[in-house]
Amino acid sequence: MEMKVTRLYTGSDGESHFEDITIPLKDQEGFFEWSEPTKATGIIFAELYSDKLLDWHNAPRRQFIVTLEGEVEIGIGDGTKRIFRGGDVLMAEDTTGRGHSRRRGKDQHHKVIIITLD
């Protein structure tokens, strides 16, 4: 099995791009599966409650963003937008370049756990 994750990274063109990646999971004792450990530096609990568009910005560090509740729309320079909902995982690595935009789903708070990697 595998876990699907969306990677948000800066390309050689200075623009942010989406890439769908998978993290392999290994069977453990015949009743669950898990990945190899990923070294993390911290955990942040956050809630976005404003529907204001946060225009072009970069991720402050490499981090996984796990949506717990609500939804958020992430936009990139070529006009592509993706919506992340409960259970979705975004690996934000676009720490340079133009960055991305973010808007919370209407009438919803967006609750996340951020797992910092750097």
Q: Hey, what domains does the chain have and what are their CATH numbers?
A: 2-116 (2.60.120.10)
How far is Cα 52 from Cα 38, in angstroms, rounded to an integer? 33
Asked whether the predicted pLDDT for residue 10 surpasses 90, the reply is yes
**pLDDT tens per residue across span 29-38:** 888 999 999 9
Task: Using a pLDDT cut of 90, give the percent of the chain over it.
Answer: 83
Q: Model-level pTM greater than 0.85?
A: yes
Residue 25, exposed/middle/buried by CB under 10 A (0-12, 13-18, 19+)?
middle
| Structure tokens, 70 | 């609500």
